[in-house]
Structure 1
Amino acid sequence: MHSLPSTDRFESLRASQKNAYDRAPAIRAVYELAKMAPHDLQSPDDLARLAVTNKDALLEMQRQSPPFGGFLAADDADIRRVFVSPGPVYEPQLFDDHTGHGFSHVFRQAGIGPGDRVLNTWSYHLVPAGLLLDEGIAATGATVIPCGPGGAEQQAQIIMELGITCICASTAFFITLVETLERLGYDLPSQWKVRSAMLGGELGDWIGKRRALEEKYAIRTFSAYATGDLGLIAYEEPGQVGYTVQPDRLVQICDPLTGAPLPLGEPGQIVVTTLDRGWPLVRFGTGDVAQALSNSPDGLVERIGMLQGRVGQGVKVREIFIYPRNVEDLIIRTPAIERAQVIAGKNQHRETATLRAVLTPGSSQEDTQSDLMEAFRQLTRLKLDSIEWVTHEDMPIDAPLLVDNKH
């Protein structure tokens, strides 16, 4: 896939959005609301003047103006496929897409190419995942085995008999596959050819789980951040933290309420503008929350951190959002605590953040308290007001990670 130098991206954006302005009524309405036209897009600040469109709005507009809600900037004859995501939301793929909405980036970066045989266990039915991954793999010159989900014993047989070198799967299904192979008597990793796996994200210590799988099965794991509406947004690079934004996606991390771009390191909604001409979503709010780790020379986000949650899950304390993922990360970082919960409250006119925590047996409150305070500050940039030590009985295992008691 052709990668555009960052200095050219606004020129490309103006061209694709001019086409969209002329052909897609919903895109024209976004500009008219901001009293702008595509030629006004010269910088990230100009882009930020446009309103954020979220998935609920896209769904509603598709109901009012079926099937694409006025966002299609191409002819019906240009449409190769229509994917159907939960909602249902209809997402067109055009004949000029030869990379699976950018997924070729993921596999090239992972070293996949001619001679590889890639087992794709993601669904090919209605939703975009299976077919877009399939096209991204094929664009590298590798061979695809299109299995879809389920049938672990048959897929285990395929892995061995076809000499599969890469597996694309959810983390849970990958574990099911390796456990099935071991149950069938195979000695892994010596008896297979798998060198890498593209795994779907999970809650909890997902990175820790991946590292354990890598060590046990002598493989390298990799991942990506994508949505049905936009395809690939960002991908992992070896030795780098977080995800690198693919060049045809213009990303801003924005305040979930105002849509204004936020500084580096501050969590906010991932807002994406695409350079695609036919499905030209502009300032599309994914609903996912992450931090910007670095910016490109053109001022847009170059790298994002791990996802922290969904818009609406965050609780604001003293102008800083806390997300459930922050509490999860705190537990992972601090072996001395088994469970934790953050309570947002109010003391007169001041908003407060209290951590309730359960110690692991043998740990001491005194030794753990300062570590917890510092780890929380690093994760959220917010200082805890207090720590309350509780028992297992006081905090059930399914207790919410984050509670808003400010009102």
Structure 2
Amino acid sequence: MPNSEFFDVLEVRDPEAREDALMGALAAHVAQAKASAPYYARLLADVAPDAICTRAALASLPLTRKSDLSAIQAEHPPFGGLTTIPAGRLARIFVSPGPIYDPEAGGRDYFRFARALYATGLRSGQILHNTFSYHLTPAGVMLECGARALGCAVVPAGPGNTELQARAIAHLRPQAYAGTPDFLKTILEKGDELGLDLSSIRRGHVTAGPYFPALRQYYAERGLTVLQSYGTADLGLIAYESEAREGMILDEHVIVEIVRPGTGEVLPDGEVGEVVVTLLSPEYPLIRFATGDLSAVLPGRSPCGRTNTRIRGWLGRADQATKVKGMFVRPEQVAEIARRFPALGRLRLVVERAGDADAMTLHAEAAEPAPGLAERLAEALREVTKLRGAVALASPGSLPNDGKVIDDRRPVG
């Protein structure tokens, strides 16, 4: 779609057509993963791929957790059997903290960031000043490949060296910045201090850090359009912001579910839960990949005209495991209690200090509490966690919709 406000026709297709296309590709994707990736051959041994053609069928498959990748890869190096091609045929191999080894297959824009950069306003013939790291981790390459796919030149600046960055911008006159949300402010302030003209930068694409309202306001007051995206080293782009600035729009090549933390149970739209992604990549066919991040689906469509589902962006971490009296308590255990009491609403296990000891209180939403409900919940809490705790019943809708099922309020240090 040359000279369009949209990257391609996929962004504005009818939502039903998009869903049909995604579900139509899903069964073949599962079949290929099972046939070509040893990890999925084991994990999906009893799964008939042809049956995985709906969201309900997808939700029946097991999760693969990002938090487990390091151990999976250590047991079956280099990639845990999750890739479908030999390591020597990849374009690049990255190392993320963990360590986790992230593959990049060949292709023009493997991580799909061109779409997000286009929504930010980057166009062919412009220059992107890219401050993401090119050392071991993939962020620098992700944004560079996206920009090159759009026909843009890239300054591979990397992080740090603030004065040198400011002088390079003043000399090269790039139109756009890519990097963490706060580093652009640091560069601009250094430019002000040095009396440099950095006015060529009119747009910024930020990710890999919190984008606080005060920072948005700072950029707006300087007349800059600075938008954000959400992705991971494993998956590439998941969602991106448009100039409507109303949530993040899902990439066209992922299937996203929001599940109850500690489970694979899909939550209704609007409920905060863990982001689970199925990546429609033949080389790295991640299926129900649990990111450990929290978000929620937003209702309706974006005012910008893009028709894909929107999420609220990054809302925190889903892995809320904590130690109580020397024993781990995990979100999966709270989910098990919820399964035993299906009439309840949200549950939240609050951990505090009572004097010199740890204390747990299970808060549970109950519309019409039956006699003895609190006592039965306390017993279930003890059975599941092997620890004693109090129970506090709450009215429906009174617990926060923030995805938090374990709230550790003990002071740090």
* TM-score interval (norm. to shorter): 0.7 to 0.9
1:320 aligns with 2:346: yes
Contact 1:72 1:279 in 2 (8 A): yes
Correspondence 1:101 to 2:119: no
Farther off after superposition, 108-117 or 312-321: 312-321
SS of the residue aligned with 1:42? coil
Corresponding residue to 1:403 among 401, 404, 409? 409
Compared CA separation, residues 225 and 254, structure 1 to 2 (3 A)? same
Q: Does the 8 Å contact 1:100/1:133 carry over to 2?
A: no
Taking structure 2 as the reference length, the TM-score comes to 0.74
User: How far apart, in 2, do the equivalents of 1:309 and 1:133 lie?
Assistant: 23
Q: Distance in 2 between the 1:157 and 1:246 partners?
A: 35
User: C-alpha offsets along residues 167-220 of structure 1, whole Å, 9 cap, x if unaligned?
Assistant: 112122112101100110246xxx6111111123545xx341233222332101
> Residue 102 of structure 2 aligns to a residue in which SS?
strand
CA separation of 1:202/1:279 partners in 2, compared to 1, >3 Å: closer, same or farther? closer
Partner of 1:390: none
Kept in 2, the 8 Å contact 1:269–1:287? The answer is: yes
Give the corresponding residue for 1:14: 27
Indicate if the aligned counterparts of 2:133 and 2:159 stay in contact, CA closer than 8 A: yes
Aligned match of 2:325: none
Check conservation: 1:344, 1:403, Cα contact below 8 A: no
1:220 to 217, 225, 232: 225
Aligned 1:167-186 pairs, distance under 5 A: 167-186=177-196
What's 2:284 paired with? 279
**1:304: Cα distance to partner?**
1.1
Distance 1:402 1:80, change over 3 A: same
Q: Give secondary structure in 2 for the equivalent of 1:148.
A: coil
The match for 1:257 is: 262
Residue 366 of structure 1 corresponds to none
How do residues 109-128 of structure 1 correspond to structure 2 at under 5 angstroms? Answer: 109-128=119-138
Q: Residue 349 of structure 2 contacts residue 362 of structure 2 at CA under 8 Å; is this kept in 1?
A: no
* Matched residue, 2:175: 165
Residues 344 and 352, structure 1, Cα contact 8 Å, conserved in 2: no
Residue pair 1:156, 1:180 contacting (<8 A) in 2 also: yes
The Cα of 1:294 is off from its aligned counterpart by 3.9
The one-letter code of the counterpart of 2:160 is G
Letter in 2 for 1:20: A
Per-residue CA shift, 1:246-276, capped at 9, x if unaligned?
0111000011222110001111110000110
Correspondence for 1:197 among 204, 227, 235:
204
Q: Is the 8 A contact 1:156 1:181 kept in 2?
A: yes
- From the superposition, tell whether residues 257 and 112 of structure 1 become closer, same or farther in structure 2 (CA, over 3 Å): same
Quote the residue 2:401 is aligned against.
Answer: 380
Secondary structure in 1 matching 2:34: helix
The answer on whether the counterparts of 1:116 and 1:164 sit within 8 Å (CA) in structure 2 is yes
Q: CA RMSD in A?
A: 3.2
TM-score, normalised with respect to structure 1: 0.75
Change (3 A) 1:117 1:321: farther
Q: Deviations over 1:368-391 (max 9, x none)?
A: xxxxxxxx9696289xxxxxxxxx
SS in structure 2 of the partner of residue 310 of structure 1: coil
Verify the 8 A CA contact 2:30 2:52 in the aligned structure 1.
no
CA distance in structure 2 between the partners assigned to 1:288 and 1:24 by the alignment: 25
Specify the code of the residue in structure 2 equivalent to 1:252: E
Q: Which stretch shifts more, 208-217 or 110-119?
A: 208-217
In structure 1, the partner of 2:63 is 52
8 Å CA contact 2:124–2:151 kept in 1: the answer is: yes
Query: When the two structures are aligned, how many residues end up with a matched partner?
Result: 338
Distance 2:105 2:362 in 1: 52
Sequence identity percentage: 30
Q: Distance in 2 between matches of 1:344 and 1:208?
A: 34
